[in-house]
Chains A and B, each alone.
Chain A
Amino acid sequence: MTVKSDSLRGKYVIAGIGHTAFGKLGQDTVSLNVAACASALADAGVEKEAVDALFVKTPTSKREILYGQKVAEGLGIQPRWGGAWDQGGAANISLISFAIMAIETGQCDIALVSYADNPRSGSRDVYARPRGNDSLFGWFSTAAGYGMIHRAHMLEYGTPPEAFAAVALAARKHGALNPHAQLRKEISMADYLASPLLIDPLRRDDCCLLSDGGAAVVIMSRQAARARGIDHAVPILGMGSGQTSWELPARPTLTSTQAVQSGRLAFDMAGITPADVDVAQLYDCFTITPLMTLEDYGFCEKGKVAQFVCDGQIEIGGRLPVNTSGGLLSETGMPGLQLILEGVRQIRGTATLQVPGADVCVVSNQGGTMHTHATLVLGD
Chain B
Amino acid sequence: MDNELVPDINDCNRPYWESLAHGSLTFQTCARCGHNWLPPSRCCPGCLSTSWSWSKAAGRGKIISWVVYHVAYHPAFKDRLPYNVALIELQEGPRLISNVLGDCALLSGNAEVDLVIETQGDVHVPRFVLAGNGG
Query: Using a CB–CB distance below 8 Å, which chain A residues touch chain B?
Result: 128, 130-141, 144, 147-149, 151-152, 155-156, 196-202, 248-250, 254
Specify which chain A residues have a CB less than 8 angstroms from the CB of B110 in the assembled complex. 155
Determine if B5 is an interface residue (Cβ-Cβ < 8 Å).
yes
| A contact patch SS | helix
Known: A133-B7, A148-B66. A200 touches B99 (CB 8 A): no
Contact between chains at A152 and B65 (CB < 8 Å): yes
For residue A130, give the distance in angstroms from its CB to the closest CB of chain B: 7
Q: Give which listed residue, B13, B67, B120, contacts A144 with CB less than 8 A.
A: B67
How many angstroms from the CA of A137 to the CA of B7 in the assembled complex? 11
How many angstroms from the CA of A194 to the CA of B96 in the assembled complex? 32
Specify which chain B residues have a CB less than 8 angstroms from the CB of A155 in the assembled complex. 65, 109-110
Contact between chains at B65 and A200 (CB < 8 Å): no
Q: Give which listed residue, B45, B72, B74, B99, contacts A250 with CB less than 8 A.
A: B45
Chain A, Cβ-Cβ closest to B63: A155
For residue A254, give the distance in angstroms from its CB to the closest CB of chain B: 6
Specify which chain A residues have a CB less than 8 angstroms from the CB of B123 in the assembled complex. 136
Specify which chain A residues have a CB less than 8 angstroms from the CB of B95 in the assembled complex. 249-250
Contact between chains at A249 and B96 (CB < 8 Å): yes
Task: Encode contact with A along B69-88: 1 for CB under 8 Å, 0 otherwise.
Answer: 11111101100101101010
Nearest 4 A-B pairs (CB), nearest first?
A: A140-B73, A155-B109, A200-B68, A147-B67
Task: Encode contact with A along B88-125: 1 for CB under 8 Å, 0 otherwise.
Answer: 00000001111100001000011000000000100101
Ordered by A's residue number, 8 sampled pairs between the chains whose C-beta atoms are within 8 Å are: A136-B7, A136-B120, A144-B69, A151-B66, A156-B109, A202-B67, A250-B37, A250-B45
For residue A148, give the distance in angstroms from its CB to the closest CB of chain B: 5
Specify which chain B residues have a CB less than 8 angstroms from the CB of A137 in the assembled complex. 85, 97-99, 125, 127
For residue A337, give the distance in angstroms from its CB to the closest CB of chain B: 28
Determine if B64 is an interface residue (Cβ-Cβ < 8 Å).
yes
Known: A133-B7, A148-B65, A250-B95. A138 touches B70 (CB 8 A): no
Contact between chains at A152 and B8 (CB < 8 Å): no
For residue A189, give the distance in angstroms from its CB to the closest CB of chain B: 21
Specify which chain B residues have a CB less than 8 angstroms from the CB of A249 in the assembled complex. 38-39, 87, 95-97
Specify which chain A residues have a CB less than 8 angstroms from the CB of B38 in the assembled complex. 249-250
Q: A200-B68, A249-B39 are in contact. List 6 more A-B contacts (CB 8 A).
A: A130-B74, A138-B85, A148-B87, A200-B70, A248-B87, A254-B64
How many angstroms from the CA of A273 to the CA of B103 in the assembled complex? 47
How many angstroms from the CA of A132 to the CA of B104 in the assembled complex? 24
Contact between chains at A139 and B65 (CB < 8 Å): no
Task: Encode contact with A along B4-41: 1 for CB under 8 Å, 0 otherwise.
Answer: 01011000010000000000000000000000011100
How many angstroms from the CA of A141 to the CA of B69 in the assembled complex? 11
How many angstroms from the CA of A200 to the CA of B81 in the assembled complex? 12
